[in-house]
Amino acid sequence: QNQAHGTQPPSQNAHVDHSNAFSGLGWLLFQQLIPEPIQQQIGALLPGSTLQIVTNDPNLPWELLHDGDNFLALKHVVARLPILERAQAAHTLPRPTARAACLLLCNPTGDLSGAQEEIAAIEDMLYAARDRVRYLTLYGANISAIQLQNMLATQEYDLVHYAGHATPEALHLADGRFHIEEIRTALPNHPMVVLNACATGRAQAQANISDMTRGAQTLAAAFIEAGAPAVIGMLWPVPDETSRRFAEVLYGHLVNGYPVGQALWQSRQEMRRRDPNGISWMAPVLYGNPAWQLVPLAPKRAAGTLLAMRFQPSAAALSTVSSAVLADASPQIDHAHLIGLVCAEIRKHGGVILAANQAELLAVFGLYTATDLNTVQAIEAGQSVIALAAEQETAPPAIALSSGDLTITAPSPSRETAHPPAPILTGDAVVEAQQLLDVAIPGQLLLNHLSYTRLKNRFPLRPWSNAPRESAGSTAYELTAAPVHVAPETAGLNMAATIGRDAELRRLLDAREQVQNGHGRALGIRGEAGIGKTHLVQTFKQQLYSALNENRSFNAPIE
């Protein structure tokens, strides 16, 4: 705890591995602050579970806690609920038929150059969802205390975003400070609040993590007391481009109907994927209700790839013996830990977990960020999971991989529910995935016809004679190669190895050497979708970046 109180806010230099440096501190805090029985219960949670920390200690950086496997804020939805000095104002009921209204406050003091780009990125996301969201933006001198009080009192806003200066006691507006006592009476309609606020000058330079955590919670608690259902604050300033990208991803999830906790969790993971050595992903903190939603979950229709798994039931799951004593439930905890490892492996390959329990798991590739490699990512994730089961000396799951049309919807969400509703997945790919999973045996990976078409030139596949025949086009195929553990450095396209494209990569690297020797080359890459063109170029660029870092004499342009 004393170490946390004296830690300076870290640099944002992406070339220094700050994130891993903080893992040791996070592990120490986890051991000191969390009793062992609770540590074991946390270890038994499936990834994506919600951890709500009720605390009156604003000094502790809870989001930095590390359980020895990963930071809790990357594994789970972490939300703080400050113990308030006074009762929280009652929430109003959601208005299900109205478009959500957002108020954006940009740079009241006029000295934050990056704030306008951040707000512009948010406006782009809100405009794209204009059938569900409307917004108003105020800039600079238009954001006075009287103007803000009047607008919050007379207009029913569902969300307020503030991009400007602040201290633990006040927001810095165009005409002075908007103090905590004013904040506590300023939200009669109880909007969610996003505070991308930073200290100024000397205060920022002298602050440490403890100061920033305390300051962020003090300001957030004032909004919670005023009736805000949820508040997102930043523990420390992040680079302008990172701030813009974070806002873009966060609001992309919010306007699609994701609960604020899930939206922040996904955004945090995206920040980590884009800068695995940085610590900007640690800066956002959620206070209040993680299940609050800006709008109902919007139906999402796209072509994606499903990865479905069925696990062997553990001995603990079949036992009727009470698990009240934690020590007696170790087999179940071990199985839950295995599911957690599986989820982490799938996310490394770019998958999004839609549902996971002790018996089954469902993930999707490409529904949110489609590329020509989604099916490749899915089958590699399946291979890695089978290899992981072997490493853990446990029965591998049965696996089905199905590409096709998908739609995600959700049942009647409410802002006041304790837990967000589970998404409903429909479409041809879902039907085929279920058919394949029903007949697959442990350790077997079956594919539908569309997945086979995309992968047949890259993986050893063969028709499976016992394929289900309930519907046309349901011919199944089987992966025949021994499982190979594939571990990309990050999700999506940032993989460390190519598959079946070594010769092409070698030609690109040879061309680079000729360029270094003064001989220009023009190369073209062509081929049908899904053969790995984007992946090949991405891997080539990664090797150029590595060469650039190792040999500063290399001056050829990368892009």
Least Cα distance to 271 among 311, 240, 299, 243 occurs for 243
- Interval 475-500 mean pLDDT: 52
DSSP 8-state assignment for residue 66: B
Angle between helix 260-274 and 240-254 (nearest 10):
140
Which two three-digit tokens encode residue 170? 């006040």
pTM for the full model?
0.60
H or E element that contains 288:
strand 284-288
Which two three-digit tokens encode residue 212? 């920033």
Phi/psi at 77 (nearest 5 deg)?
Answer: -80, 115
Question: Which amino acid makes up residue 31?
Answer: Q
- Interval 309-325 mean pLDDT: 51
Q: Taking phi first (over 0 means left), then psi (-120 to 50 degrees means alpha), and beta for anything else, what does residue 211 get? A: alpha
Q: How many CB atoms lie within 10 A of CB 56?
A: 10
Residue 254 has pLDDT above 70, yes or no: yes
Least Cα distance to 236 among 259, 203, 267 occurs for 203
Which two three-digit tokens encode residue 19? 């994130």
Non-local (6+) Cβ contacts of 471 within 8 A are: 431, 435
Cα gap 329→317, rounded to integer Å: 9
186 near 148, Cβ under 8 Å?
yes
CATH 3.40.50.1000 is held by the domain 1-296: no
Which part of the chain has CATH 3.40.50.360? 1-296
Residue 18 has pLDDT above 50, yes or no: yes
Phi/psi at 68 (nearest 5 deg)?
Answer: 95, -20
Name the average pLDDT for the chain. Answer: 76
Question: Which amino acid makes up residue 148?
Answer: L
Tell me the pLDDT tens digit for each residue of 398-441. Answer: 999 999 988 877 654 444 444 455 567 788 899 999 999 999 99
Residue 382 has pLDDT above 70, yes or no: yes
Q: Mean pLDDT: which of 187-191, 281-285, 309-313, 480-484 is highest? A: 281-285
Beta pairing, strands 360-365 & 424-426:
unpaired
What is residue 527's predicted lDDT score, i.e. its pLDDT? Answer: 59
Give buried/exposed letters for 138-147 (b at 16+ CB in 10 A, else e).
Answer: bbbeebbbeb
Which two three-digit tokens encode residue 245? 């990208």
Give buried/exposed letters for 336-368 (b at 16+ CB in 10 A, else e).
Answer: bbbbbbbbbbbbbbbbbbbebebeebbbbbbbb
Cα gap 62→30, rounded to integer Å: 9
Which part of the chain has CATH 3.30.70.1230? 300-479
Lowest mean pLDDT among 15-24, 81-90, 466-475, 524-533: 466-475
Which two three-digit tokens encode residue 457? 């030139």
Q: Taking phi first (over 0 means left), then psi (-120 to 50 degrees means alpha), and beta for anything else, what does residue 216 get? A: alpha
Provide the 3-class DSSP secondary structure of residue 166.
Answer: strand
H or E element that contains 483:
none
Q: Taking phi first (over 0 means left), then psi (-120 to 50 degrees means alpha), and beta for anything else, what does residue 360 get? A: beta
pLDDT confidence bin for 313, thresholds 50/70/90: low
Which two three-digit tokens encode residue 104? 């954006």
CA distances from 452 to 325, 368, 477, 502 (A): 48, 22, 7, 22
Least Cα distance to 532 among 504, 491, 490, 507 occurs for 504
More confident position, 123 or 90? 123
Q: How many CB atoms lie within 10 A of CB 500?
A: 13
- Interval 364-390 mean pLDDT: 86
Which two three-digit tokens encode residue 62? 């809870």
Tell me the pLDDT tens digit for each residue of 150-198. Answer: 888 888 899 999 999 888 788 999 988 888 888 888 888 889 999 987 6
CATH class of 300-479: alpha beta
**E strand segments, 384-527:** 398-409, 424-426, 445-447, 461-463, 477-479
Dihedral (C-alpha) 450, 453, 455, 458: value to the nearest 10 degrees?
Answer: 180
Residue 293 has pLDDT above 80, yes or no: yes
